[in-house]
Structure 1
């Protein structure tokens, strides 16, 4: 018998002490702002400087965009929860947050593998580097990183969505 009555979850924070929550909020907000600003700076500099149009910088720009997405998938919700005290999240919002956090995290691993391949080619085949790592190959590697992340994520997430929630709707918010 399935229990379909749980439609919201309660996200527990790191602490219930008000002073520590202010400190955690300020720390997270500061580091999140620095992360977004730093990654946007990287993306802007790579787009503006014509000398940075190599494969390595293409991958770095893609990684910076992915890092912005990864941190934005969970940190703003946690900051909102600390600031307002509203710890309730709907089932659909929770599933969406888990999906995007996991998708961006898994995709980062594949993108890092593509970046390491780029460096391998640059070191081991320096004379053939420009022909091997052409823009089409770079775009294909980034696209395949996203597709592989999606294919890795879909089976366990689809199985997880079929779980029954019959005990508690309280979740520790570790991210």
Structure 2
């Protein structure tokens, strides 16, 4: 993770705010996952993902956002995943994959509405517990794409080839480890 690419986090009454600065990609996605999963494990049921400073997103990053929404939905969470500051480009990317059905993009009514700048001023850099291994990163990328493929028939077709290749790569990595 470089200084131009960071995850910032803050815990507030009723939500956790996670800000992606720089490119939302397979590089930063495991850090965001670790951060979000630790908050969900602690009982958080509303994640706000701030994309205001996110310069673009790859499919792994978007698959990870979808997986947060799916996980919180299974837990019966009321807040789920809300996207703040999506901007036109990131909103279009999310909508192109149909993720606007899973994520609340810039919801007009939210606990944080009217205080986004105050919240952003209180964020701290997230310090990951460990750097993912090559094997862990490959599995992470596969799982994110499997999540995207599971969201719709169109995405299943769109990502079938990628998922197949990633499954082979992960299986190869598993065999090498044995």
**TM-score, normalised by the number of residues in structure 2:** 0.24
**TM-score, normalised by the number of residues in structure 1:** 0.24
- Structure showing the higher helix proportion among its residues: 1
- Structure showing the higher strand proportion among its residues: 2
Higher relative contact order (CA 8 A, sep 6+): 1
Select the structure of larger CA radius of gyration: 1
